[in-house]
């Protein structure tokens, strides 16, 4: 088996995780910027984090022979402070030329507030001005349905944004249809409790098709599983899906989306 | 897949989760004090399982979701709790 982990917060994972992913067939890992589990005290904290994502973490991954790519933003959980957000967004352009940067992400909404929406629109503008791919985080649990609708409206309102260059992540059964119907890519996130299980992810693949869909573990510092993608591939095998179909979903599809940025290459 | 194959693969797992839900509701009943809105939301979501169309997962998720469309003025916190408490909290 070979697969791409298109969404993993590796700064919060161990070297054992890197080793397990390589053994399972991982060929590349992509790390969106996210919330640290606590609010950073100022823009300097984000500057250091962006350095970690574009310099130190790719070196750590390289020790295991794993190419590491990243996305930059201020996460929606810290977007309520619009002054801080503006300062952080102003830092991002100087990092966009780093060789492992794929785009702007994971932007989006958390509690669906006016300030979060304002900061989302600023990120969308940043991506459009710099012709960047976009990776979107959709809210958790009871906030996901409303947040996904607000996010799609914000993206579609900007005529510079091409839906096939945006992935809307963490879709579930109540949001995947609207994402695909609007022409965006959909990311299915595999978590032990929230988001989706491997069985539900395969259900969605069977019902909605796999043309513009990827799977990811979004492994971070919380309860999550860095091997969730290969475990879901095993779930597909149990149901009788062919190796070719599995390879398309867990390896070729991420390459089709991420390869829109020529920096993304996989051996 | 045939329905028989699906039962062969998933029945025991679903049975286990069904009993977990039953035990959870029993546990809540044995507890003391008044429950918050989540219990009513959970019971309402359970009703979605009675429908005969294969969209039950979507219906349960929608039942637990915020149905409003306008951004809220200010975040009440960072976390989500799994069920929408209703408009009065906004």
How does pLDDT run across B29-88, given as a tens digit for each residue? 999 999 999 999 999 999 999 999 999 999 999 999 999 999 999 999 999 999 999 986
Q: Using alpha carbons, select from A185, A217, A223, A190 the residue that is nearest to residue A31.
A: A217
**Domain presence at residue A150:** yes
* Number of structural domains in chain A: 1
> What is the three-class DSSP state of A3?
strand
In a domain, A60, yes or no: yes
Give the domain CATH number at A148: 3.20.20.140
How many H helices and E strands in chain A?
11, 8
Interface mutation vs chain A, best among B80, B81, B85, B90, most A CBs within 10 Å: B80
Q: Does A120 reside within a domain?
A: yes
Residues of A in contact with B80 (CB under 8 A): 111, 139-143
Q: Please judge whether B1 and A240 are an interchain contact, meaning their C-beta atoms are less than 8 angstroms apart.
A: yes
* Residue A134, domain member (yes or no): yes
Of A77, A112, A173, the CB nearest to B72: A112
Residues A187-206, mean pLDDT to the nearest whole number: 95
Q: Six-digit token pair at A39?
A: 């609010």
Provide the pLDDT for residue B89: 58
A73 assigned to some structural domain: yes
CA–CA separation, A184 and B36 (whole Å)? 38
For A94-151, what is each residue's pLDDT tens digit? 999 999 999 999 999 999 999 999 999 999 999 999 999 999 999 999 999 999 999 9
User: By a Cβ cutoff of 8 Å, what residues of chain A touch chain B?
Assistant: 35, 77, 80, 110-117, 139-146, 149-150, 172-174, 199-200, 203, 238-240
For chain B, what is the mean pLDDT? 96
In this prediction, residue B58 carries a pLDDT of 98
Per the DSSP assignment, residues forming a β-bridge with A219 are A8
Whether residue A263 is contained in a domain is answered as no
pTM of the predicted protein model? 0.97
Q: Which domain holds residue A97?
A: 3-258
Nearest CA in chain A to B59: A174
Would the ipTM clear 0.85, i.e. be above it? yes
Task: Compare all CA atoms of chain B with the CA of A35 and give the residue at the minimum distance.
Answer: B78
Q: Is B10 on the interface with A (CB under 8 A)?
A: yes
Q: Beta-strand (E) ranges in chain A?
A: 3-5, 26-32, 68-72, 101-108, 133-137, 166-169, 185-189, 213-216
CB contact under 8 A, B66 and A199: no
Q: Do A239 and B9 touch (CB under 8 A)?
A: yes
């Amino acid at each position: 088996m070979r697969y791409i982990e298109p969404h993993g917060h590796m700064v919060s994972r161990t070297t054992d995780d890197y080793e397990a992913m390589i053994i399972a067939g991982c060929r590349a890992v992509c790390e969106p910027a996210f919330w640290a589990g606590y609010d950073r005290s100022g823009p300097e904290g984000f500057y250091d984090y962006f350095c970690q994502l574009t310099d130190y973490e790719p070196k750590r991954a390289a020790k295991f022979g794993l190419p590491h790519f990243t996305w930059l933003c201020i996460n929606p959980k810290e977007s309520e402070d619009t002054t801080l957000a503006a300062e952080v967004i102003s830092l991002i352009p100087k990092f966009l030329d780093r060789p492992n940067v794929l785009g702007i992400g994971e932007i989006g909404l958390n509690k669906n507030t006016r300030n979060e929406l304002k900061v989302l629109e600023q990120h969308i503008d940043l991506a459009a001005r710099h012709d960047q791919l976009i990776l979107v985080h959709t809210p958790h649990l009871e906030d996901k349905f409303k947040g996904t609708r607000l996010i799609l409206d914000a993206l579609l309102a900007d005529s510079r944004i091409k839906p096939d260059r945006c992935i809307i992540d963490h879709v579930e059964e109540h949001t995947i249809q609207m994402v695909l119907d609007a022409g965006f890519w959909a990311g299915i996130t595999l978590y032990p409790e929230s988001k989706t299980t491997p069985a539900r992810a395969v259900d969605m693949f069977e019902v909605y098709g796999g043309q513009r869909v990827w799977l990811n573990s979004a492994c971070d510092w919380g309860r999550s599983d860095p091997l969730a993608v290969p475990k879901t591939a095993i779930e597909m095998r149990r149901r009788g899906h062919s190796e070719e179909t599995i390879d398309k979903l867990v390896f070729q599809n991420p390459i089709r989306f991420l390869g829109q940025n020529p920096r993304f290459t996989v051996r | 897949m045939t329905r028989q194959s699906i039962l062969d693969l998933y029945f025991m797992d679903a049975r286990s989760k069904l009993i977990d839900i039953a035990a959870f509701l029993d546990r809540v009943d044995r507890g003391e004090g008044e429950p918050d809105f989540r219990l009513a939301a959970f019971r309402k979501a359970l009703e979605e399982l009675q429908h005969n169309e294969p969209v039950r997962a979507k219906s349960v998720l929608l039942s637990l979701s915020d149905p409003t469309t306008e951004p809220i003025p200010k975040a009440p916190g960072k976390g989500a709790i799994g069920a929408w408490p209703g408009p009065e909290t906004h």
